[in-house]
Structure formats: structure tokens, C-alpha cells
Amino acid sequence: MVCQFLSYSKVTQLYIYTRSLFYIIFHRGLSQETGHSSLCCTADLILSLLTVPTLLLVTEDNSLSQKKKVTVEDLFSEDFKIHDPEAKWISDKEFIYREQKGSVILRNVETNTSTVLIEGKKIESLRAIRYEISPDREYALFSYNVEPVSTTLFYLYIFLKASLFRYLIKYFSPESSFLIFIFENNIYYCAHVGKQAIRVVSTGKEGVIYNGLSDWLYEEEILKSYVAHWWSPDGTRLAYATINDSRVPVMELPTYTGSIYPAVKPYHYPKAGCENPSISLHVIGLNGPTHDLEMMPPVDPRMREYYITMVKWATSTKVAVNWLSRAQNVSILTLCDATTGVCTKHDRDLTGGFCPQNEEPLFSKDGRTFFFVRAIPQGGQGKFYHITVSSSQPNSSNDNIQSITSGDWDVTTILAYDEKRSKIYFLSTEDMPRRRQLYSASTVGNFNRQCLSCDLVENCSYFSASFSPGADFFLLKCEGPGVPTVTVHNTTDRKKMFDLETNEHVQKAVNDRQMPKVEYRKIEIDDYHLPVQILKPATFTDTAHYPLLLVVDGTPGSQSVAEKFEVTWETVMVSSHGAVVVKCDGRGSGFQGTKLLHEVRRKLGLLEEKDQVEAVRMMLKEQYIDKTRVAVFGKDYGGYLSTYILPAKGENQGQIFSCGCALSPITDFKLYASAFSERYLGLHGLDNRAYEMARVAPRVSALEGQQLLIIHATADEKIHFQHTAELITQLIKGKANYSLQIYPDESHYFNSASLQHHLYRSLTNFFVECFRIQDKLPTVTAKEDEEED
């Protein structure tokens, strides 16, 4: 086999295409008109009614009534489509990005000049959805003609010597046009364009033994990527994982349509307490004869079963590996010698909760100093994630470890280490948990830190960033609360050099719409101050009465209350149908320290219900909320919580919610992925009580007249339809009022725009009916009867 590529100088030729990922962002939609008020209820718990009104997307003016309302159709309109240039640094002064018309551009920061590398029309003609440029800028890889294999794993077709083959492709090496690709779970290596492809790993077996690729569990729950191979910095070595699913039980997904008899698609899916995939890490040399060497796991009695959660090259011969026990309460960071396979422990994290997984350390050029995030005690506030530096000295077996940051806030991402200036760059929640600001900190002396993004971009407080290799420049991406933008800055003085993307078309659409007003509050519960976000109609007045929708996510470690720009189904509900939406980051949510995060361990559902219901009670004290029209919605883990919460009682033992909807709900954690369920409930078989307490089924008998809509795809590969089937069995036994909507043969991620549109319309119609005020004749009292007589 000979690898052929698309050269810029031969744009009429094809052709090698890479596999791609699809990430579908679910925009949810709903509606209803306003109604009447009823008595307010009081809360048992102390409420902190500190209100922080924040006007995010709309300005008060006399033309508000002339503005359009946001509709479901707007969610699919180009007017609201955020363009992300996906900029990537390729040198200290240059980066490549994709402009709105689709062309791939090379931009020089110093000279402010641009060069078109690939015309957008060419990419469009190939229907390519992703690209990769070779380091010498002579060749390009394209994702094309993808076919789904798993959640985000795709086959694609490439031409090799005029023959069509199906491959799973990776990109060029960091320093040259070396290429590796994966076929039938074996790894092949091309030394150069046009050279013979050599098979360097041959132990693969499709669907069973994966080399350099993730299986379902690792892709979905551990590495969070299909990629399970890593180039060394100089491109001479390749680290890769071998994942063996041979002992993992098989799940079969049915296909009902398209044939007389339904077909099934088998794949390995480990559920709680079942056999897990085994994993090993190997390094092969690509210069000269290939030599395969396994990196040895740490010797620890708690690591008999383990996950590999992170791999990062420190130098061309040293690779950092993070090993996590199956119970996920012991994490060991090692530095492995790629020439011997010997791994040395550099950090061990023991926790009463669950350990973080994927944080990558940053290394100095010689590999002797590295920076990583770990949980550090902060007095009575518990532990928060902060930057720690570990330095090894020549002829010494002990590392010098120091904490660079401290405080009751979290470092969320380490971005870059600038050795020449002795500075580390990172994102943190120091400003507020719902914000992400860019900071620098000195790595010497008093570790002084500075906020680089504070007040730098108007109407923006939630950032991400990427630095050039020498850290002289950085790309700053504003993610909200205003319309997202991307700007380029000089690191020395933070000065903006130019705008890369302003999304003016979205800003224009926002200015022309009645966008929600956003407020933030806090509720105080069991010594925690839990953040709450409230979305109100642009025409809000406190003399009207609005229906209330609680939207829950609640996946442990996640965050719902954030100052990010979003136009979702919730926006439609607020803008078009006059509802109020509330979200709360309760116990178990992320970015507020490990004490709050670990509260839910072994008691999923219990505390989340208490916190979410308390947020609703706070809202029910407001005169503008119609207490007879309160609903709850959730998806995935949020679907679990929405079903769990729906039967909740008010202070007078009356129902709080009139209806609820669960999209792809988890209903029994022993039926769900092992890594997720065991992380929060322990190993099934050792602590079955925690699993039984978390089940939804025993609670559904408490449903008294509420409407419950369950929506699930029958070929959901992540949360199997089995969850909904088990729930419905209990609903029938309990004579509960429920409706079921299925999507035949559809996967967990609704890839089709038409399916998404149908989904949002279904949600909208359900909540419209739930919030509808039924026409009733006024009741005539006995006293009025006497007066008439």
C-alpha cells in the first residue's frame, strides 16, 4: 500500500481523508402563555436572596416590542450559528484557521499577513468536515464520507493506488510528514508521502482488541476521545494503548426498520459490577527497526484493576501516565522511561471521594520540572484544585513539590508554561465559579498572579485561550455572556492585535430579538451557597404571572450556572412563550471545591432533589410565578433527576410540579456504564444498597396526576432503551400518567437536523399543553347566591 495525499499544487488529485468527530449540541425548545397567581409557599431552609441582576443579551429601549421573538426555527438558522475559526498555532508567530466561507488560512501575527492554504470551494466540493495540515504545509488530510462506528467513532474511505479501502486515520506527526493510520485495529506507519505503508502493530481484532483507538467505555467515560495514541515531540516514537474487550459482556442494539426481521448490532458495554476492558500502554520506535515496549503499571494493591486516564510526553524519551484504580479513589501519576518501560511515581492522590481524571501536566523542556492540578486543602472550605509544581534534582530521588496557587476557588485548566519569563498561564474561577478568567502566575518568588482577561473584552467574563509555542502571543476566545468572539493578543502587554472572529451576524440577530434577561441568586443550604440562574422574558414585569420551568443537568462535576452565550430551546421558551427558567448548581456540581462535589457520593438523587426543590421554593415565593404551572425537564443524568424530582411534595404535602419530561433518562445505575456508576456509587456487588437507594422506579408510585413525558431513541448506545422499559413497567404498575415518544433506530446523539427539529417541537408542544390555563366558568359562592335572591 502506498499513501497518496492531496497536495496544494495538485488540488485536482485525491486523496487521503481522516476520520472525524461529530458533537451535537442539544438545543431544547418549549412554550406557554402567562396565567394567574396563587398563594406563595415558605421555605424550611434559609434562603439568601442576594440578587445579582445581569443584563446579558438585550438593552432596554422603546423598540423592544418591535423586536422578534426567538423561535425553534431560529435554532437552525444561519443567523444564530456561531462560527468558531478553530485556530491552531503552528509556530510562535503563525496559526491556521478556517474563515466563515470555509477557506483554510495561514496568518502571521507579526506581519499581519494571510495566505490561503486551501480554498473553501475545494473543501466544499469534497464535503470534507475536518482537515489537518502537514507540518511542512505541503499536504492536507480531510475527513470525508464518514460512517458511524460508535458514539464518535467513524469509518471513512480513502483512495490508495486507485483502490478504495476503509480506514480509521490519525494525523501527521508533530515534526514531519510521518503518518500513522489504523486499519482493522492494527497500526500502520508511512515514513513519507508516497512511501510504503508498514504495519507496526498487528494484534488488533475488530470490535474486541483496540490498538491506538478507544473502545466504547474509554471513549465515552475515561479518555473522552477516540484517540488512544500519542506522538513523541520529535515524532520518532509513538505511545499507544491496547484495550482488550474480550471479557466484557456484549450489548445488542436492535434495528427495527429497513428489513422484514429486525437486526442487531453487538458491541462490548461493561455495566456496573461487570467485567471491564483491560488496558496496557506501549511505546514503539519508528526510526529504524520497530521495537514495542510496554510501560509497567505501578505496584499497588488497590490497582489490581485500573484505568489509564492520561498520557502526555514530557520529552522525546519520557512519557507521563496517570493510572486510576477501578474504584476511582486512588490516582497515581508516573513518569515512564520510553527506552526501558520503567515508570517512577511522582504523585499519589488518595481521596474519600473520586479522583479527577484527564488533567494533563505541563513540562519544562528538560522534563525535570512539571506543573499539574491537584486538590489542596483550604481550611474549613475543604479542598480546591490548584497548580502544583514538582521539580527533580540531579542525583536525587526526591522531588521538590510546591503549590503555586491557593484559595477557595478552582484552577480549571493549565494552558502554557513560559520558561523564559518564569510564568504559568491558566484559567480559574477566582472571579466567580460561573466565570472563567485567564491568569498568569510567577513560578518563582511569591508566585504573584495577574488576571489577563479581566475587563479586557466588553460583555465577556467566560474565556478560553491558547498560547503560541513560545507564549509570546495568545488567542483569546470569549464564550459569553455576550456573543462569542476570538481576538489575538500580545502576551507582554495584553494588547489586542486584531479581531479574528466577531460573529457580527449573530450579534445583529441578537439585537433584533427579544432575548432573555438573566439574573443570578444564591440559596443557602447546609452551609453551602448554591448558585441559581434565572431567565426572564425581555418584557418581564413583576405584575404579570409566569409559568416556571426547572431545567436540571446535575451530572456530578458539571456546571449549569455559567456566564456563557447560548441560544437553546430554553431561549425559545422564555422569548416566545413567556416562561421563566431556573437552573441551580446544587451539591455534586463542579468548580466549587471537592467538599461540595463529593457530597453526592453513594447517595445520588437524594441531595440533588433537596437542592433543586429548594431553588423552586425560592422562586415560588415570587409573586410573579404562577404556582399552578411548574414543570421540570432533564436529559441523560438530568433525565434521571427530573424523574426523581417530579413526585416531590410541597410544604403542605401538595404536588410542586404539574408535569415533567425526561429525555434519554438513566433510571437504574446497575444498567449503566461501569466507570460512571462505580465512580459515584461504588462497586456493584459490594455496596448494592447505594444502587437500590438511587433507583427511580420505587419513587414513581408517588406520581399523583402529574404528566410525565419520556423520550428515548431505541438504538441509544449510551443509555440503553432498557432504562426506559424498566421505568415504564413500574409506571404501569403504579397506574401513573405517562406518555412515551420513541425515535426508532436513532442513536443517543440526534445527528439529523430534522430529528432535532422534531424533538424540539415535541418538547414545545408538551410544555405548552402542560402550562395551558384551562377555561373555567367562575365559581359562584353561596353568599353571592343569597344576594341574587
Between 124 and 786, name the one with better pLDDT.
124
The strand ranges marked E within 482-598 are: 485-490, 496-501, 517-525, 528-536, 546-552, 580-584
- Tell me which residue has cell 488530510: 141
* Average pLDDT for 436-449: 92
From residue 121, alpha-carbon distances to 9, 485, 575 in Å are: 16, 25, 37
Least confident of 18-27, 248-257, 474-483: 18-27
Indicate whether 151 pLDDT > 70. no
Indicate whether 51 pLDDT > 70. no
pLDDT of residue 617: 94
CA distance linking residue 588 with residue 609, whole number of Å? 11
CA distance linking residue 7 with residue 380, whole number of Å? 61
Nearest to 167 by CA among 18, 61, 316: 18
pLDDT of residue 352: 57
The H or E element containing residue 689 is: helix 688-694
Between 487 and 768, name the one with better pLDDT.
487
Indicate whether 66 pLDDT > 80. yes
Indicate whether 560 pLDDT > 50. yes
CA distance linking residue 467 with residue 671, whole number of Å? 42
pLDDT of residue 171: 58
Q: Rg for the chain (alpha carbons), in Å?
A: 28
pLDDT of residue 56: 39
CA distance linking residue 170 with residue 213, whole number of Å? 10
DSSP code, position 245: -
Omega prior to 481 cis, within 30 of 0: yes
pLDDT of residue 411: 95
CA distance linking residue 464 with residue 164, whole number of Å? 40
Residue 402, C-alpha cell as written in the block: 510546591
pLDDT of residue 22: 27
Average per-residue pLDDT for the chain: 84
Indicate whether 762 pLDDT > 50. yes
404-427 residue pLDDT tens: 999 999 999 999 999 999 999 999
pLDDT of residue 301: 86
CA distance linking residue 554 with residue 556, whole number of Å? 6
pLDDT of residue 397: 63
pLDDT of residue 215: 94
Least confident of 396-400, 521-525, 737-741, 743-747: 396-400
Residue 676, C-alpha cell as written in the block: 460512571
Under the banding of pLDDT at 50, 70 and 90, the label for residue 11 is very low
Least confident of 48-52, 331-335, 398-402, 408-412: 48-52
* Average pLDDT for 426-451: 94
Q: What domains are defined for the chain?
A: 1-25+85-172 (no CATH), 52-78+515-771 (3.40.50.1820)
Which of 182-186, 328-332, 507-511 reaches the highest mean pLDDT? 507-511
DSSP code, position 296: P
Indicate whether 142 pLDDT > 90. no
Between 14 and 340, name the one with better pLDDT.
340
Indicate whether 16 pLDDT > 60. no
pLDDT of residue 779: 40
CA distance linking residue 76 with residue 775, whole number of Å? 35
Residue 408, C-alpha cell as written in the block: 477557595
DSSP code, position 380: G
**HEC profile of 87-112:** CEECCCCEEEEECCCCCEEEEECCCC
pLDDT of residue 168: 53
pLDDT of residue 53: 40
582-608 residue pLDDT tens: 999 999 999 998 899 999 999 999 999
CA angle, 660 then 646 then 28, to 5°:
30
CA distance linking residue 91 with residue 313, whole number of Å? 19
665-677 residue pLDDT tens: 999 999 999 999 9
Under the banding of pLDDT at 50, 70 and 90, the label for residue 774 is low
CA distance linking residue 131 with residue 127, whole number of Å? 11
Phi, psi of 170 (to 5 degrees): -115, 180
pLDDT of residue 120: 85
215-268 residue pLDDT tens: 999 999 999 988 999 999 988 899 999 999 999 999 999 999 999 999 999 999
Indicate whether 75 pLDDT > 70. yes
> To the nearest whole percent, how much of the chain has pLDDT over 70?
83
Phi, psi of 161 (to 5 degrees): 55, 45
Residue 91, C-alpha cell as written in the block: 509556530
Q: How far is CA 63 from the centre of its chain?
A: 38
Q: Across the strands, what pairs with 490? A: 473
pLDDT of residue 37: 38
Residue 479, C-alpha cell as written in the block: 464564550
Buried b (16+ CB within 10 A) or exposed e, 697-715: bebbeebeebbbbbbbbbb
pLDDT of residue 698: 86
Give residues with Cβ within 8 angstroms of 105, minimum separation 6. 96, 97, 98, 99, 114, 115, 116, 117
Nearest to 182 by CA among 162, 163, 203: 203
Nearest to 506 by CA among 457, 460, 567, 569: 567
Buried b (16+ CB within 10 A) or exposed e, 641-654: bbbbbbbbebeeee
Indicate whether 279 pLDDT > 50. yes
* Average pLDDT for 564-571: 94
Nearest to 45 by CA among 521, 532, 601, 528: 528
Q: Are 520 and 561 in contact (CB under 8 A)?
A: yes
Helices (H), 419-555: 504-511
pLDDT of residue 156: 42
Phi, psi of 783 (to 5 degrees): -65, -40
CA distance linking residue 556 with residue 608, whole number of Å? 10
**DSSP per position, 604-669:** TTHHHHHHHHHHHHHHHTSTTEEEEEEEEEEETHHHHHHHHHTT-B-TTS-BS-SEEEEES----G
Say how many C-beta atoms besides its own lie within 10 A of residue 244's C-beta: 17
Q: Are 328 and 305 in contact (CB under 8 A)?
A: no
Indicate whether 43 pLDDT > 60. no
* Average pLDDT for 174-181: 75
702-724 residue pLDDT tens: 787 889 999 999 999 999 999 99
CA distance linking residue 336 with residue 338, whole number of Å? 6
Indicate whether 35 pLDDT > 80. no
Q: Parallel, antiparallel, or unpaired: how do β-strands 625-635 and 546-552 relate?
A: parallel
* Average pLDDT for 473-485: 96
* Average pLDDT for 611-620: 94
Residue 211, C-alpha cell as written in the block: 490498538
630-659 residue pLDDT tens: 999 999 999 999 999 999 888 777 889 999
Under the banding of pLDDT at 50, 70 and 90, the label for residue 338 is very high
pLDDT of residue 394: 64
